[in-house]
Chains A and B, each alone.
Chain A
Amino acid sequence: MGRYVIRRLVQMVPVFLGATFLIFVMVYAIGDPVSGLFGDRGPDPATAQALREEFDLDEPLPLQYVLYMGKIFTGDFGTAFNGQPVTQLMEHAFPISFRLMLVALVLEVVLGIALGVITGLRRGRSLDTSVLVATLVVIAVPTFVLGTTVQYVLGVKLGWIDPAVSPDPRLDELLVPGLILSLVSLAYVTRLTRTSVAENTRADYIRTAHAKGLPRRRVTVRHLLRNSLIPVVTYLGADVGNLMAGAIVTERIFNIQGVGYQLFQGILRQNSPTVVGFVVVLVLIFLLANLLVDVLYAVLDPRIRYV
């Protein structure tokens, strides 16, 4: 197990470098970070040259990347062009987004699995059908339409929630944005759990468990659920990426000043160090989440052995 984790961590290194290099190329080779600073009026050549030297932009691209990554590993994510260190932006943004994603993830896991088990055990009944239809609608209606509508109805019309959250939001303020963020994933988790539960209720080990007289609750939780969760866990790993993307939309709707907000501001203002810095950290989180998922397999399914 320990060796497996270490091997996977080592395998992650080239993937991490490759993915971040791609992002780096997009920002520094396709875009022009210096001219982005000056808007429509072209920069004075001397100033542009000085800026290029300051940010190592006069070096060839692969060397720029190496220099940049070198700095990152010493904790220096560079300065946004307005002089604010990128790490300072991160310190503020990441805890907020973390809270938002935590709310979303908890709602998604708890509600999604609960709904999935209930409908999976009652396939074909009216409750099952209505939940299935509801998940289809949730998947089809884009998050930003749902988000703006909910914000308008609950926040402006009814006044139940604040349409925009405070700069440093508490968990309860993030409940509605978190729900909006989690809805699509929640629908997928429900459908996956439902299929998986429905398939496993026919398995031999479930019949055996019933036959040896275990109480129903124990059969469902210990035998059925544990085996049915394997595909759900896979989905959750990939879903971290979806949540990150969804967070950009949700944070924009509810004016939450988290990672998505900072990233979006950085892109709008062509603030390359901010963009690359945030994306590098997000890619790292995404890869680690997927590693965590692979490790969780072993806990859920002892048949999977790692060498």
Chain B
Amino acid sequence: MSDATSAPPPMEAEEENAAKGLTAGTSSPDKDAPRGLWSDAWHDLRRNPIFVVSALLIVFLVVIALWPSLIATRDPQRCDLARSLQGPSAGHWFGFDTQGCDVYTRTVYGARASIAVGLCATVGVALVGAVVGGLAGFFGGFWDTLLSRLTDVFFGIPVVLGAIVFLSMISLSGIWPVVLVIAALSWPQVARIARGAVMTAKQHDYVQAARALGAGNARLLLRHIMPNAVAPVIVMATIMLGTFIALEATLSYLGVGLRPPTVSWGVDISAASDGMQFRNAPHILLYPAAALSLTVLAFIMLGDAVRDAIDPKLR
């Protein structure tokens, strides 16, 4: 019991260092070349089973999202009310939903909307956040104050709350309003991190050296500061991707996100839990919910692994 709290670290640390030197020496052929942050991270990641499993799962999901017909031959919109709520059978492994649509086909086709929303929103958030945070951190002074207050204003609106209000007021359908509203309300978190990272990177000697050599602001920011400040932004974005997919489903569940005829896991789960329709046919809730959870889990684990690799301090 007592060893848990009182274990003196020096021995452990030495052992760790020795072990690290050993593995680095034996496993990498180019042992003399100093490894940068990214190749070092990649070196760690390849050996992390959690990363490998979640990355494979994500590759699979992305392929399914791009070409759903690879594993589902039926049409997700062709439904037969006569088969409403029929349970799983030989030709239809996941059974039929209330409308008599094949649950397997709909679950496969649902990947596209969920992953598209997650990816697009994440790209938007990362871009806006990095630009606003980067400019605020780099220029400081008046611009910092202005952009930071702007960040605070958007940070002051809880994301789901703002998303519900916005989405219920506009009457557009499809994935773009959902992407837009998620990105518009989530970028402050990235901006805060990017600002901090840029402010730290800005103070390094090589930045001063580059400036002394006559590099302009744009070159300094793009060539010297951003590459060294982008790691925390990427980590944040990876973790957010999973939560955005869950957020899309939540909004669809509340009836303001994606709407039928769009095929998405959130739409199907919403339909299944409406009036507890899953009571007599649990499969209509189980399969889309499992697919959604697995996807979210894969992205969150990937984000965790990437963070561990890039920032070993947080391990």
Contacts and interface: CB of A to CB of B under 8 A. Distances in A.
Decide whether A and B are members of one complex.
yes
A201 B161 CA distance: 39
Contacts of A264: 164, 254
Contacts of A137: 293, 297
A148 B160 CA distance: 19
B55 to A, nearest CB: 16
Interface of chain B, helix or strand or loop or mixed?
helix
Interface in B141-168: 149-150, 152-162, 164-166, 168
Nearest to B163: A245
Contacts of A158: none
Interface stretch (B4-12, B116-124, B230-238): B4-12
B314 interface: yes
Contact of B285 (A148, A224, A286): A148
Interface in B75-132: none
B253 A210 contact: no
B297 A14 contact: no
A299 interface: no
B269 interface: yes
B4, B8, B276 pick with most chain A CB within 10 angstroms: B4
B51 to A, nearest CB: 14
Interface in A197-237: 201-202, 206-207, 210, 216, 219-220, 224
A198 B101 CA distance: 50
Interface centre among A140, A156, A282 (most CB of B within 10 A): A140
A249 B285 contact: no
B165 A26 contact: yes
Contacts of B226: none
Contact of A152 (B250, B253, B278): B278
A72 B132 CA distance: 32
- Which of B150, B253, B279, B292 has the largest count of A CB atoms less than 10 A from its CB? B253
Contacts of A22: 153-154, 157, 162
A142 B293 contact: yes
Contact of A267 (B156, B158, B164): B164
Contacts of B279: 152, 156
Nearest to B164: A267
Contact of A245 (B149, B160, B296, B301): B160
Taking residues whose C-beta sits less than 8 angstroms from the other chain, chain A's interface range is 35 or more
B136 interface: no
A121 interface: yes
A23 B293 contact: no
A31 B4 CA distance: 59
A63 interface: no
Nearest to B157: A19
Interface string A26-61: 110011000000000000000000000000000000
Interface in B251-266: 253-254, 256
A210 B5 contact: yes
B313 to A, nearest CB: 8
B300 to A, nearest CB: 6
B158 A136 contact: no
A18 interface: yes
Contacts of B166: 26, 30
B153 A19 contact: yes
Contacts of A245: 158-161, 250
Contacts of B2: 216
B70 interface: no
Nearest to A141: B293
Contacts of A142: 246, 249-250, 253, 269, 289, 292-293, 296
B218 interface: no
B153 A241 contact: no
Nearest to B269: A145
B210 interface: no
A214 to B, nearest CB: 11
B269 A144 contact: yes
Contacts of A14: 149, 153
Contacts of A15: 149, 152-153, 155-156
B208 interface: no
A252 B285 CA distance: 18
B43 to A, nearest CB: 23
Contacts of A287: 156
A283 B156 contact: yes
B170 interface: yes
B273 interface: yes
Contact of B296 (A31, A140, A144, A242): A140
Nearest to B8: A207
B294 interface: yes
A267 B278 contact: no
A290 to B, nearest CB: 9
Contacts of B209: none
B158 A210 contact: no
29 contacts: A18-B153, A19-B153, A23-B162, A26-B162, A121-B4, A121-B5, A137-B293, A142-B292, A143-B250, A145-B292, A152-B278, A152-B279, A201-B4, A207-B8, A219-B5, A241-B161, A244-B158, A246-B160, A248-B160, A249-B250, A252-B254, A263-B161, A267-B168, A267-B256, A275-B165, A279-B165, A282-B158, A282-B161, A286-B158
Given A210-B5, A242-B158, A283-B157, 16 more contacts: A15-B149, A27-B169, A142-B246, A144-B253, A144-B273, A145-B293, A149-B285, A202-B9, A216-B2, A241-B159, A244-B158, A263-B164, A264-B164, A267-B164, A268-B168, A286-B156
Pairs A-B, 4 closest by C-beta atoms: A245-B160, A18-B153, A31-B169, A241-B158
